[in-house]
């Protein structure tokens, strides 16, 4: 049996220090799949949760971490119908398995890598930009002229989301973040309207003040429990709250006031991307493909905070755990 190197977790789950590179069976291409030799992969917060045993991994996913990558096609299944061939430079999204030398992935989730994108940049695009697109358009039903609030403004998804909101014609784009440096980055570099430091300000009151009490039409949240009441208070009439994560937990304290659901007709909807079927993910991949010229002409920018060799995967996870980065953490495989 052919083998490859991949990042494994001692005892199946644990802290960052339990990550190490091991030898595991190399995947083979099933119907509709390609085998990609990976050049680089991106880190995502779900990787930390999965490493600790707290993420519901879809049944079709391998146990190896990682959902976004760039590389070259080494092999294609005989029934592959998409416009790919051996040797093509690609990047894409997978259900798992990207922390490895090779990955088996549905060709519906691959894109040709433009020459102007480096391997590192391309590896940081799929999960981030597809998640932001899904949250804004498919779940949040964003339309031109609406106002948007992106929590965790300097996170990779929100960095993409701010740029998408700007291109999409948002009337105003607000962010929350943990430092003035991150807020300045979101406002001065990315073009957000204003930002609020959740450590030093009551962000929900500040958003209401900035909107003359109207609130915002669309809120994208990754924080969960500690932001639940603030989100309801800040949502505009007929506002949408898109719930993508629960970094502060999932259990609400006593006394949460849910009157906004009736009084303001607020809609709260949770979503995930990884559990979706290939057809759903494929539609988002097609949408991402329409953005590629925006990366080339500079309308959209990919922010890579740190590139590390994958042998330093422990350091990469520990860096993500600090919540200090602005943009992607990428690992490369020689």
Beta strand 68-76 pairing with 89-93: antiparallel
Phi, psi of 62 (to 5 degrees): -70, 165
Give the Cα separation of 92 and 322 in Å (integer): 27
- Tell me which of 223, 247, 270 is where a domain ends: 270
| pLDDT reading at 330 higher than 90 | yes
- The SS3 of residue 41 is strand
Rounded to two decimals, the pTM is 0.92
Distances in whole angstroms, Cα of residue 174 to Cα of each of 62, 106, 107: 37, 36, 36
> Do 259 and 152 sit in the same domain of this protein?
yes
With a pLDDT cut of 70, the percent of the chain lying above it is: 100
Q: What is the count of structural domains for the chain? A: 2
> Do 45 and 59 sit in the same domain of this protein?
yes
Q: In the prediction, which pLDDT does 78 show? A: 83
> Do 87 and 153 sit in the same domain of this protein?
no
> Do 108 and 9 sit in the same domain of this protein?
yes
Q: What is the DSSP letter of 252?
A: P
- Tell me which of 253, 270, 287 is where a domain ends: 270
Question: What CATH number is given to the structural domain containing 134?
Answer: 3.40.50.720
pLDDT digits (tens, 9 = 90+) for 260-279: 999 999 999 999 888 898 88
| pLDDT reading at 323 higher than 90 | no
| pLDDT reading at 180 higher than 90 | yes
> Do 87 and 191 sit in the same domain of this protein?
no
Contacts of residue 198, defined as CB under 8 A and 6 or more positions apart, other chains included, come to 176, 177, 178
Residue 87, exposed/middle/buried by CB under 10 A (0-12, 13-18, 19+)?
exposed
Instruction: Name the region of 179 (left: φ>0; alpha: ψ -120 to 50; beta: rest).
Output: beta
> Do 139 and 252 sit in the same domain of this protein?
yes
Q: In the prediction, which pLDDT does 82 show? A: 73
> Do 114 and 234 sit in the same domain of this protein?
no
Give the Cα separation of 303 and 140 in Å (integer): 24
> Do 262 and 324 sit in the same domain of this protein?
no
User: Smallest Cα–Cα separation from 147: which of 197, 182, 192?
Assistant: 192
Distances in whole angstroms, Cα of residue 123 to Cα of each of 37, 114, 176, 208, 224: 13, 12, 26, 37, 27
pLDDT digits (tens, 9 = 90+) for 193-229: 999 999 999 999 999 999 999 999 999 999 999 999 9
Give the Cα separation of 74 and 89 in Å (integer): 10
> Do 69 and 83 sit in the same domain of this protein?
yes
| pLDDT reading at 81 higher than 80 | no
Structural domain range at position 49: 3-125+274-332
- Least confident piece of the model among 50-54, 56-60, 146-150, 252-256: 56-60
> Do 17 and 112 sit in the same domain of this protein?
yes
pLDDT digits (tens, 9 = 90+) for 90-144: 999 999 999 999 999 999 999 999 999 999 999 999 999 999 999 999 999 999 9
> Do 200 and 250 sit in the same domain of this protein?
yes
Q: In the prediction, which pLDDT does 251 show? A: 95
Question: What CATH number is given to the structural domain containing 77?
Answer: 3.90.180.10
Q: In the prediction, which pLDDT does 56 show? A: 85
Place of tokens 């784009």: 173
Give the Cα separation of 203 and 171 in Å (integer): 19
Q: In the prediction, which pLDDT does 136 show? A: 96
Give the Cα separation of 150 and 182 in Å (integer): 13
- Least confident piece of the model among 40-44, 80-84, 166-170, 198-202: 80-84
Whether 88 and 12 have beta carbons less than 8 Å apart is answered as: no
How much is the average pLDDT of 151-169? 96
> Do 288 and 168 sit in the same domain of this protein?
no
Q: In the prediction, which pLDDT does 79 show? A: 81
Mean pLDDT score across all residues of the chain: 95
Helix (H) or strand (E) holding 229: helix 228-234
Half-sphere exposure of 116 (CA within 13 A, CB side): 10
Whether 132 and 145 have beta carbons less than 8 Å apart is answered as: no
- Least confident piece of the model among 186-190, 199-203, 215-219, 325-329: 325-329
User: Smallest Cα–Cα separation from 29: which of 69, 62, 75?
Assistant: 75
């Amino acid at each position: 049996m052919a083998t490859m190197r991949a990042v494994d977790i001692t005892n199946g789950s644990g802290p960052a220090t339990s990550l190490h590179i091991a030898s595991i069976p190399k995947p083979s291409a099933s119907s509709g799949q390609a085998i990609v030799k990976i050049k680089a992969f991106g880190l995502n917060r779900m990787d930390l949760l999965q490493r600790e045993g707290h993420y519901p991994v879809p049944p079709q996913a391998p146990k190896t971490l990682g959902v976004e990558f760039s590389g070259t096609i080494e092999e294609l299944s005989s029934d592959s119908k998409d416009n790919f061939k051996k040797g093509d430079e690609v990047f894409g999204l997978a259900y798992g398995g990207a922390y490895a030398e090779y990955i088996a992935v549905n060709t519906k989730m691959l894109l040709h890598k433009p020459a102007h994108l480096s391997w590192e940049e391309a590896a940081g695009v799929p999960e981030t930009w597809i998640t932001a697109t899904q949250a804004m358009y498919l779940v949040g039903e964003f339309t031109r002229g609406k106002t948007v609030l992106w929590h965790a403004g300097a996170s990779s998804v929100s960095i993409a989301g701010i740029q998408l909101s700007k291109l999409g014609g948002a009337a105003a784009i607000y962010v929350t973040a943990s430092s003035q440096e991150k807020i300045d980055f979101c406002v001065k570099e990315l073009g957000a309207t204003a930002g609020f430091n959740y450590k030093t300000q009551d962000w929900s009151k500040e958003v209401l003040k900035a909107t003359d009490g109207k609130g915002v039409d669309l809120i994208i949240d990754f924080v969960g429990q500690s932001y639940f009441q603030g989100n309801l208070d800040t949502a505009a009439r007929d506002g949408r709250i898109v719930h993508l994560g629960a970094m502060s937990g999932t259990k609400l304290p006593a006394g949460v006031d849910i009157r906004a659901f009736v009084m303001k007709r607020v809609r709260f909807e949770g979503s995930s991307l990884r559990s979706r079927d290939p057809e759903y993910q494929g539609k988002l991949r097609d949408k991402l493909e329409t953005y590629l010229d925006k990366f080339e002409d500079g309308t959209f920018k990919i922010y890579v905070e740190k590139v590390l060799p994958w042998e330093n995967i422990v350091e990469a996870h520990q860096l993500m755990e600090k919540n200090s980065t602005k943009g992607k953490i990428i690992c490369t495989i020689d």
